[in-house]
Structure 1
Amino acid sequence: MENGGYRLVGRIIFLNCFPRDLVSGGIKTMYRHALLLRQAGFHVQVLQAEGVPSWLGKEMHPLMCETVTNLTRQDIFVFPEVLREWYADMISTPMIGQKVIFCQNPYYFFTYGPSAQKLAEWGVTQVLAPGIGAAHMLQRVLGLENVQVTPPVVDGNLFRPRQKKLQVVCAEWKWPQQGGLPRHAVLIQDMLKLKYPQFSSVPWVPLQERKEEEVAALMGESAVCLSLGRLEALGITALEAMAAGCLVVGCHGGGGSDYATSQNGFWHSPEDVEGMVDSLAMALEGCASGSGVIRKMVAQGQAAAQPYAPDKVSMRLQQVYGQLWG
């Protein structure tokens, strides 16, 4: 079988060891990559021992399997970076086929004590990352020679501008095991009301614990997104907000430096809380007045999200995975 100049001789098997109905950005990205590769002609499966997740779209169902049989040396197993429970045993066990790690957050990965030597001993042939900054970090910290980038997907058909209103959507749920950042969001809102009382009545809408379609709709109708990224490998929430026509204010979390510029958002260090308050006021004022400068920033944000469109990500996935067979 040929695809894009590459000879496809095995399966790509993504491993999902997480609870069946757990939803996260990393899990969704894994399923989207699997679907794009399947649509491009690759033989792809997703191993979920508990069965098909209830939240998964029907187009994904043909990808699912509860067991994998008839393995060959040409099969590729794609592990997440979270090497715990049975993943920890499986990654270090000799097995037929290639082992690849799709490291969607190096900071998670580092907590499991990986090293170039361990990866070689485990038989891992390739480490993938969602962004250039994350890939370079993996190379520097672990001494890896080559980390390929397979970016996440931002679907512009879902995350699109709608009828806008002066409203702030707030994303601050990252790293919940360390308390997340919700108090920062409350503090920023309180400071905005004190310093700029003219914006006291502007609605704030938190995005946590909402389905993706609802998040997309709220982003699409909101003028501003406060995105408090922290220890991000890329920071897809800010990109989704940009695609939805929001002006983003906040922190890019490190990995967002792949796309964050002074032309497409108001980016601050996490400690610069007052600076974020000032930027929120500037953004709200500009959106309310129809400022040309603000409109240009929003347009630049939409342009920054374009490289993560499904067709562009699909081409990159085909290139990276096609080369794994040599």
Structure 2
Amino acid sequence: MGRIIYVSPRTKAPVGGIRTMYRHVARLRHHGFDAYLYHVDQGYRPDWFQEDVAMLYTADLRAPNRLRLEPDDHVVFYESASNSIRFFSQYKGATRHLFCQNHFLMFDALHDLGAANWQALDVERCFASAGIIARAAETCLGFPTVPVVPYAIDHVCFRPEPKSLRIAFMPRKRPDDLEFIRRCFSGAFPDLAHVAWTEIHNQSEERAAEILRESALFLSLGRREGFGLPPVEAMASGCLVAGFLGIGGREFATDANGLWCEDDDLVGAALKFGQAVRWVESQDSAASTMIDAGRRTASRYTIETMDAALIKYWREATLSVQPQPLSARAPRL
């Protein structure tokens, strides 16, 4: 059985999709697969989460007149991996996969490279991180079957603790909208001016989880999401969640587990969030009921569930029986 090489984006910012790639590699190696994370910057390892995975860099793969790849290797691209696709095109023998975590980005590399479809880039298989993404990829990308490997939440890290009346939020997807929403909130609910707002931005996974554990509420600012992990992590942490789903959040959202509003209904978001704060502050039973529903939703996203789908996908993709432990194999590099 060959190697499985996930190509990471170059960005070093904390992003849930990148965290998921590293988690896949770690779990694959745990189950005996020869899996690696490829990063273009020599020696780079992320410092914003704790996951020690096997890394490959350009120098590890480059050889005179070719790449150090074998026919039984597998290379996993992300949606906008244009430069890495060019790099790996120096060798045609390995099997290419697309791991699609956001259907809003699924044409990015095709546009950059002037390709009609992913198959023209020698990508043979696709898998996705949510059902809504898989359905889009099957319909629009020409892959007959797109298996889903669902997200996993670290429930040891993202867990409820005693709360303070604090609003946690991640502004990355809607920085301008956030100011509008906060002004609407202040105008409509002047009596709630004492409520603290805590930003989560460019912080470690542990620090983000700590803020969620301590915060009673989470304002979801998703936009054009493939899934949208932050509100589910907030649910797991026992927050009352309100705000936007970014389309992809329809995968997990119900009327019971959050106060959701239509995308770009900024005034509506402020009003719903004011309602959420009032529920929490008055200890209304509606708040505890919704928080409990959110925790039940988040409980579906476990390492065990992800592992089952991940291992099934790669066993089928590699046509492999039970892989040998890594300690029993000679090194490839």
Could you tell me which residue of structure 2 aligns to residue 231 of structure 1? 224
The amino acid across from 2:118 in the alignment is: L
- What do residues 284-318 of structure 1 show as CA deviations (whole Å, max 9, x unaligned)? 11112222221111111111112221122111111
* Mapped contact 2:49–2:204 kept (Cα < 8 A): no
Q: Offset at 1:94?
A: 4.6
List alignment gaps of at least 5 residues for structure 1. 1-8, 175-180
Q: Which residue of 2 aligns with 1:74?
A: 72
Hey, what does 1:46 align to over in structure 2?
37
Q: Which amino acid aligns with 1:75?
A: D
Aligned residues: 309
Aligned residue among 289, 302, 315 for 1:322: 315
Per-residue CA deviations over 1:61-103 (Å, capped at 9, x if unaligned) read: 4x11222476332221111111322x13145555222111112
1:201 paired to 2:194: yes
Residue 161 of structure 1 corresponds to 160
Tell me how far 1:22 sits from its aligned partner.
Answer: 4.2
Q: Contact 1:235 / 1:253 at 8 angstroms: preserved in 2? A: yes
* Contact 1:116/1:144, CA 8 A, preserved across alignment: no
Match of 1:288 in 2: 281
**Which of residues 23, 39, 59 in structure 2 aligns to 1:32?**
23
Larger CA deviation: 32-41 vs 109-118: 109-118
Is the 8 Å Cα contact of residues 77 and 85 (structure 2) preserved in structure 1? no
- Which residue identity is paired with 2:204? K
Which position in structure 1 is the counterpart of 2:329? none
C-alpha distance in structure 2 between counterparts of 1:139 and 1:73, whole Å:
26
* Residues 242-274 of structure 1: CA deviation (Å, up to 9, x unaligned): 111111111111111110111000111123222
CA 1:323–1:256: 2 relative to 1, 3 Å: same
The AA in structure 2 aligned to 1:155 is: D
Question: 1:143, CA displacement in angstroms?
Answer: 3.2
Given residue 37 of structure 1, which amino acid in structure 2 is its aligned partner?
L
Cα distance in 2 between the residues matched to 1:277 and 1:25: 25
Distance in 2, Cα, partners of 1:26 & 1:240 = 14
CA distance in 2 between partners of 1:92 and 1:203 (Å): 51
Q: Secondary structure at the match of 1:96?
A: coil
**Partner Cα separation in structure 1 for residue 47 and residue 107 of structure 2:** 30
| CA contact 1:170–1:185 (8 Å) conserved in 2 | no
CA distance in 2 between partners of 1:195 and 1:119 (Å): 49
Question: Are 2:15 and 1:16 aligned?
Answer: no
Which residues in structure 2 correspond to 1:7-156 (within 5 Å)?
A: 9-18=1-10, 21-49=12-40, 50-55=42-47, 59-61=51-53, 63-66=54-57, 67-68=60-61, 71-85=69-83, 87-90=84-87, 92-113=89-110, 118-156=117-155
Q: Scaled by the length of structure 2, what TM-score is found?
A: 0.86
CA distance in structure 1 between the partners assigned to 2:221 and 2:9 by the alignment = 28
Shift of 1:51: 1.6
Alignment partners' CA distance in 2, 1:97 and 1:122: 12
Would you say the 8 A contact 1:220–1:245 is kept in 2? yes
1:200-250 Cα deviation digits (max 9, x unpaired): 110111111222211111111111100111000000111111111111111
Q: Which amino acid aligns with 2:145?
A: N
CA gap of 1:154–1:60, structure 2 versus 1, over 3 A, is same
Segments of structure 2 that go 5 or more residues without pairing to the other structure are 62-66, 320-333
SS at match of 1:307: coil
Q: Which amino acid in 1 is paired with 2:7?
A: L
- Paired-residue identity, %: 29
Is 1:191–2:184 an aligned residue pair?
A: yes
Structure-2 separation of matches of 1:142 and 1:65: 29
Contact 2:79 2:108 in 1 (8 A): no
Residue aligned with 1:264, SS: coil
Report the aligned-residue RMSD.
2.1
Alignment of 1:221-300 (within 5 A): 221-300=214-293
